[in-house]
Structure 1
């Protein structure tokens, strides 16, 4: 684990930071303590922001190719410590070892992508009269707070920090209080390949995050996390004038059309609902299946849920690890219990196991209705709530009756239905016949309560910069 005096980074100098407050991070598989972490104070936040402010002019003036080279160096450093980072992810939030390493590798790939794209990122020119021209150039926003989540702490942080740094911004990173050891090591590896102050860090809980997001000297706050936290950040930035980039909660639907092989569809649903114990922003949160295949689909999905090997993430045979903590497990289980009380049928899982850790079984609920919280809210657990529908149109209408708009998936053999679906669904990402996947450079902007602004892809470089329009008149009398 990281040394106890390396929780705040300001201008290249590490310190313990924090006042009298501290919290303990526990291993969700065993309940054993991972380490104690100080709660960063407003003084720590101010020091980190001040360091980023001092470094900003020099970094903005650094040649784009040099910034890209520094990001490549950071990617190499992370690659050299990939196993250590993955082990920290598993220890802090329970992700199975292979998935944890995959998240680290995804972060490395993202840094390398931005290292190449950053130097090519530019504006455009407009021809005026014969003696005049306009051009639009992109400049760094300035000081960006990057507040990252626990469910994929390396990949997401690499994306946001990488895009911010390569476009000439300086960063203050606040990792989740559930994965602070991972965040501290990652920040150390990135910041160590950059000039002092370009990447800084504060550790802490929600009070630390609020102090950072509301700091008056920030130019932007980039946040991936819950809708509640995103709303609070939006309110804070509305008061300071900082830009808010938010990817928040979702209740992503999966539509299973008539004519689809129910066994194959169940495999897709199992991946979408149970990967990372359902703790992915774009996990499948509700399923609408055509009544002609619903019985076979639910039976196959329940069989897959029951067959998953549950255990600690460090066991290479584990397919379903624990939830991040017992508090979160309680919230997931309460949604399941309420759905059953309201008439849903439990087809698999749904019971808290005995023993240590915050494990929760892969759970399948049949006969759900849209008013149930397990369908309407973000469960963020290994739960597959299913509702049978009489038509494809009914499924589309139900999928759109949500205040979220992050992603949606459609499984269909009818390409006319596929075309109609992606045009109709109110989501930033629509996936046809695959719950996960997509091109490495893909990006989408979440809608409604799921957030605002592009995440990932070349478009994130646009979000991290501001456009300046210059009119150049050449004929001076």
Structure 2
């Protein structure tokens, strides 16, 4: 079995203690991960702090080239990383799975390389000149989740390094192996100490997020954990970017052709087996086409194969871990007990792995847990409405506000309604698509700060105003 190591100051570190990482498709062992300690976190932060002095002074072109080099080596090692990712995360190799994720890693690193933060001149006259300079912050702590572990890591790492910061990353203990290997690969093109990785139980996370030598924390994960990260960072007033949970709503307007939108709605809800913060988690459908939309979704979804991601024929994989599997099962059972009608799925099969079938639920109402809570799995509740304004009110009733979508033949009307959604991102006739140059972030309890593009890059800098 492959031996995995943490990376601190460019060197492999292998603590004597390890923990098991489970393959969610089989229930077997994906690998053994180093169990780092608070001392390892301190060493990684010290290495990053020491490297920051020199890295922050490097030219803009040097940092730009570093991101280009990261994109290149990610491409050169994409198949190895994709297979490791599938083994520990469960998503299929093909389709919108692990190879797709590695493609996203390359695209974001390459795009970040070309971003620029020029000096802004706000005044230049006979009274003087005022310039706005953007400077790196210092050590950035990156805490990443288990659903898109590599792509989200690059979302954190690339802009931090491009802006002149150094990084210590701690991946989820459910999916640490691919991140460890990726950091090892990236260290072949980065100076020692610029990018460090520590792994271990959740208990070492607060050591990192409260560390006095960490200038910024960027975290992607659940809202409840995000609140804890924020509390840990408060003692030293660290900068924060928090991309947290979502309970995204889609609204299907009465002029929509159910057969034309079924595929788009399906992938908006079920990409990565529904384990995506910006997946559609609630679908509001006008009463006049409700039954037709349900039929069209069942027809499309019933043809999607689910199974072990190493089988190239499978399109969706398992729920990633036992805890999440039980939450999905519990929410579906609660919905069934409260009158939901199962159109497809609804019962976990016997056998190995954390497979929960594609599940479509009709006759669901607001107030059911499956609507009010983020299920984060392969389940879509379909909710009937008769008045568009009422549907909008219900869509906006969530404490979360990551994304939302409107579906209609009339693009202008749909866009006007989408702009009234209380969400950081809104889509028309699609859901969840992201672009490296399009700012991404949540409102309400879906997060703080912005990722991607120039706006996301600015989050890794401090403003210094120069009067001369």
Q: TM-score range by the shorter chain?
A: over 0.9
SS at match of 2:207: helix
Deviations 1:39-63 (A, max 9, x none): 2211010000000010111000000
Deviations 1:107-163 (A, max 9, x none): 01111111121xx21231122550411101000011100111111112111121000
Q: 1:285 aligns with which of 281, 284, 287?
A: 281
Deviations 1:159-179 (A, max 9, x none): 210000011000001111111
Residue number in structure 1 paired with 2:459: 463
Q: 1:96 aligns with which of 88, 92, 99?
A: 92
Task: Report deviation, 1:423.
Answer: 2.4
Deviations 1:190-212 (A, max 9, x none): 12211111111101121122211
SS at match of 2:58: coil
Q: 1:443 aligns with which of 436, 439, 464?
A: 439
Partners of 1:262 and 1:331 in 2: CA distance: 30
Kept in 1, the 8 Å contact 2:439–2:451? The answer is: yes
Residue number in structure 1 paired with 2:335: 339
Q: 1:124 aligns with which of 96, 100, 120?
A: 120
Q: 1:17 aligns with which of 10, 15, 24?
A: 15
Q: 2:158 aligns with which of 158, 162, 171?
A: 162
Kept in 2, the 8 Å contact 1:276–1:320? The answer is: yes
Partners of 1:324 and 1:17 in 2: CA distance: 26
Partners of 2:418 and 2:133 in 1: CA distance: 34
Task: Report deviation, 1:438.
Answer: 4.9
Partners of 2:204 and 2:140 in 1: CA distance: 15
Instruction: Figure out how many residues of one structure are paired with residues of the other and give that number.
Output: 466
- Structure 2 residues without counterparts, runs of 5 or longer: none
1:352-363 to 2 correspondences below 5 Å: 352-363=348-359
1:175-324 to 2 correspondences below 5 Å: 175-324=171-320
Task: Report deviation, 1:37.
Answer: 1.7
1:29-178 to 2 correspondences below 5 Å: 29-98=25-94, 99-117=97-115, 120-127=116-123, 129-178=125-174
Task: Report deviation, 1:267.
Answer: 1.9
Kept in 2, the 8 Å contact 1:135–1:469? The answer is: yes
Partners of 2:275 and 2:339 in 1: CA distance: 25
Stretches of 4+ aligned residues off by more than 4 angstroms:
none
> With structure 1 as the length reference, what TM-score do the two structures score?
0.95
Partners of 2:23 and 2:382 in 1: CA distance: 32
Cα distance, 1:102–1:417 mapped onto 2, change above 3 Å: same
Partners of 1:45 and 1:2 in 2: CA distance: 23
SS at match of 1:410: strand
Deviations 1:337-387 (A, max 9, x none): 001111111111010101111111000111111111111111110101011
Partners of 1:253 and 1:443 in 2: CA distance: 20
Partners of 1:109 and 1:419 in 2: CA distance: 28
Task: Report deviation, 1:332.
Answer: 0.3
Kept in 2, the 8 Å contact 1:310–1:318? The answer is: yes
SS at match of 1:219: strand
Partners of 2:433 and 2:278 in 1: CA distance: 11
- Structure 1 residues without counterparts, runs of 5 or longer: 473-477
Kept in 2, the 8 Å contact 1:255–1:409? The answer is: yes
Kept in 2, the 8 Å contact 1:233–1:244? The answer is: no
Partners of 1:75 and 1:444 in 2: CA distance: 21
Task: Report deviation, 1:298.
Answer: 0.8
SS at match of 2:79: helix
Partners of 2:465 and 2:2 in 1: CA distance: 46
Partners of 1:270 and 1:129 in 2: CA distance: 57
Partners of 2:143 and 2:283 in 1: CA distance: 31
Cα distance, 1:78–1:165 mapped onto 2, change above 3 Å: same
Deviations 1:191-243 (A, max 9, x none): 22111111111011211222111111111000111112111101111122111
> With structure 2 as the length reference, what TM-score do the two structures score?
0.97
SS at match of 1:384: strand
Task: Report deviation, 1:261.
Answer: 0.6
Kept in 2, the 8 Å contact 1:123–1:138? The answer is: yes
Kept in 2, the 8 Å contact 1:170–1:199? The answer is: yes
Partners of 2:203 and 2:183 in 1: CA distance: 20
Confirm or deny that 1:3 pairs with 2:6.
no
Partners of 2:44 and 2:158 in 1: CA distance: 18
Q: 2:361 aligns with which of 355, 360, 365?
A: 365
Task: Report deviation, 1:439.
Answer: 4.0
Partners of 1:181 and 1:254 in 2: CA distance: 35
